[in-house]
């Protein structure tokens, strides 16, 4: 069947409804566009939602992660342990601080970082661990917290995928030392671009707030408001990482339906698991026990030796049949920058490489219809039958 624009099922489609549009339009009409009352409200409602004491709205999760490391005063030659199975940002922010990203492998049977590998990677220079909640499935935080406490390290959570998610009855955002969320266009809550830092520490929250806006003592909103004053002090070298009120207004309406959107994604994920686990060509995702999965991503693995075509060819066939997919992630250590500048080599983290070579992320978004879900399942079923070894 030739794929027309309308029959192509994209990997992701943001759920933007009338209330989201209205909320942004109100800000546009208000005369105040950048960080202001909406951003403050989004911070307090977000903090309440995840159960955190402090939340600071920023321009991206990358910014949030950078601020987290800057807030703990990460310095040149310090080391930060993070999984190789992650997006560019998680490692990049360590390099922004001229520190060293120390990569570790995944668990053999999941995409989550391996706590035992984290412990082995600790040196006297280690300052922090960044745990990534891959796909929205929380990493096993108890052993990581234990390691962090025993070695006096900061546990930063890269929760770009994990809203809303839970670990042993608590929401992600209220567990580690600093948690960073993403509101990028494809994420479970979107503000187009955006992010949030959540922390229980008032000191870290203060530093993140100051560093997020030029290192100055007052934000622009306070400066220009009726009660504000023009005078400010530069306290340190900060960044321009603030969130606009236009983004925050969208964040507020999205937050109100965040749990509902998760339920819709979970329904699709359950349908995928039910249908695909019956086919021996694919392995369905493993979920960490006693967690609430955000279901940002649904990542299947093509079982080795079951099909006559490669994972890449399967992705191409899905595309030809009108189904958009993605791959999460190309392990950091396999990228030229990491090999050429940091001495990593292919073959170094076999679990991550094996997972990567087999992985396909299927379409999963709250506005996806039952028919669209059926189409993905049937196409995967057809392809497994057509290319059976
Ligand atoms: C695991 C992970 N961390 C961080 C980020 C960066 O998020 P942002 O685009 O909001 O900077 C992403 C983005 O996809 C991600 O997948």
Which residue's alpha carbon is nearest to atom 9 within ligand 1?
A: 184
Segment 225-247, tens digit of pLDDT: 777 788 889 999 999 999 999 99
SS3 123: coil
Report the DSSP pairing between strands 291-292 and 166-167: antiparallel
Give me the catalytic one of 40, 187, 270, 301.
Answer: 187
Lowest mean pLDDT among 34-43, 217-226, 303-312: 217-226
Residue range 374-381: mean pLDDT, rounded: 98
Q: What is the C-alpha separation between 242 and 220, in angstroms, rounded?
A: 10
> In terms of pLDDT, which residue wins out, 5 or 52?
52
Q: What is the pLDDT of residue 247?
A: 98
Q: What is the pLDDT of residue 219?
A: 64
Q: Is 187 a catalytic residue?
A: yes
User: Mean of the pLDDT values across residues 248-262?
Assistant: 98
pTM: 0.97
Nearest 5°: the CA angle 358, 364, 369 is: 135
Confidence label for 356 from pLDDT (cuts 50, 70 and 90)? very high
Instruction: Please report the atom of ligand 1 found closest to the CA of residue 134.
Output: 1
Instruction: Reply yes or no on whether the pLDDT at 4 is more than 80.
Output: no
- Tens of pLDDT, residues 96-137: 999 999 999 999 999 999 999 999 999 999 999 999 999 999
């Amino acid at each position: 069947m030739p794929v027309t624009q309308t029959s192509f099922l994209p990997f992701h489609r943001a759920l933007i409804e009338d209330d989201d549009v209205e909320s942004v339009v109100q800000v546009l009409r208000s005369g105040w566009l950048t960080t202001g009352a909406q951003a403050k409200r989004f911070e307090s409602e977000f903090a309440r939602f995840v159960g955190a004491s402090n939340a600071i709205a920023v321009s991206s999760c990358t910014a949030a992660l950078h601020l987290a490391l800057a807030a703990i005063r990460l310095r040149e030659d310090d080391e930060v342990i993070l999984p190789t199975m992650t997006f560019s940002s998680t490692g990049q922010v360590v390099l922004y601080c001229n520190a060293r990203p120390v990569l570790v492998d995944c668990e053999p049977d999941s995409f989550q970082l391996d706590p035992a590998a984290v412990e082995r990677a600790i040196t006297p220079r280690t300052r922090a661990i960044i745990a990534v909640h891959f796909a929205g499935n929380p990493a096993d935080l108890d052993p990581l917290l234990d390691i962090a406490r025993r070695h006096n390290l900061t546990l930063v959570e890269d929760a770009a995928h994990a809203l809303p998610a839970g670990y042993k009855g608590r929401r992600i955002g209220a567990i580690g030392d600093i948690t960073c969320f993403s509101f990028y266009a494809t994420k479970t809550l979107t503000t187009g671009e955006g992010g949030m830092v959540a922390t229980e520490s008032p000191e870290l929250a203060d530093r993140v707030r100051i560093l997020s806006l030029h290192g100055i003592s007052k934000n622009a909103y306070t400066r220009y408001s009726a009660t504000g004053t023009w005078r400010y002090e530069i306290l340190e070298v900060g960044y321009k990482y603030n969130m606009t009120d236009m983004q925050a207004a969208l964040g507020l309406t999205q937050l109100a339906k965040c749990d509902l959107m998760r339920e819709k994604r979970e329904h699709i994920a359950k349908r995928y698991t039910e249908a695909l686990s019956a086919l021996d060509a694919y392995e369905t995702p493993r979920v960490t026990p006693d967690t609430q999965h955000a279901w940002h991503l649904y990542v299947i693995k093509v079982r080795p030796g079951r099909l006559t075509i490669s994972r890449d060819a399967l992705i191409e066939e899905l595309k030809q049949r009108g189904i958009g997919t993605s791959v999460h992630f190309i392990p950091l250590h396999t990228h030229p920058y990491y090999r050429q500048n940091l001495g990593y080599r292919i073959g170094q983290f076999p679990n991550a490489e094996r997972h990567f070579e087999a992985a396909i992320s299927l379409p999963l978004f709250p506005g996806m219809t039952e028919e669209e879900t059926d189409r993905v399942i049937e196409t995967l079923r057809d392809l497994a039958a057509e290319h059976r070894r």
